[in-house]
Amino acid sequence: MSAAVRSSLVLALLVVPDAALAHPALPGIGGFWGGLLHPFVVPAHALAIVAAGLLVGQVIKGVPESARWNGPAAFAAGLVAGSIAIACAFVPVHANEALLGLAALSGIWIAAGRIPLHLTPLLIAGLTGLVVALDSPPDATLLREALLMQIGTFCGALALFTALQEIASRLRRGWQHVGVRILGSWTAASAILVLALRFAK
Amino acid sequence: MKDRVIPIVALLAVMPAMPASAHTGSLAGGFLGGLAHPVLGPDHVLAMVAVGLWGAFLGAPAIYLLPIVFPLVMAVGGVMGIAGVPLPGTEIGIALSAIVLGLMVMLAAGPPLWVATLVVGAFAIFHGYAHGAELPPGADALAYSAGFVIATGLLHLAGIAFGLLSRWPTGATAVRTAGALIAAAGAFFLFRLA
Please report the ipTM that was assigned to this predicted complex. Answer: 0.75
Q: Which of A190, A195, A198, A201 to mutate to test the interface with B (most CBs of B within 10 A)?
A: A190
Tell me what the pLDDT averaged over chain B comes to. Answer: 81
Alpha-carbon span B191 to A185, nearest angstrom:
34
Compute the count of residue pairs across chains A and B with CB atoms less than 8 Å apart.
115
- Please report which confidence band the pLDDT of residue B143 belongs to, taking 50, 70 and 90 as the band edges: confident
Of A44, A173, A196, the CB nearest to B78: A196
pTM over 0.90: no
pLDDT digits (tens, 9 = 90+) for B118-138: 999 999 999 999 888 877 766
Contacts 24+ apart (CB under 8 A), B108-115: B108/B57, B108/B166, B108/B172, B108/B176, B109/B54, B110/B57, B110/B58, B113/B58, B113/B61, B113/B62, B113/B65
Least confident of A35-39, A182-186, B17-21, B180-184: B17-21
Of B22, B67, B75, the CB nearest to A193: B75
DSSP string covering A26-47: PTT--HHHHHHHHHHHSHHHHH
B87 pLDDT exceeds 90?
Answer: no
Average pLDDT, consecutive stretches of 10 residues, N- to C-terminus, chain A (201 residues) = 44 38 58 88 91 90 78 94 88 88 93 78 93 85 84 94 92 85 91 86 63
CB atoms A189 and B78 under 8 Å: yes
Alpha-carbon span A178 to B73, nearest angstrom:
18
CB atoms A190 and B27 under 8 Å: no
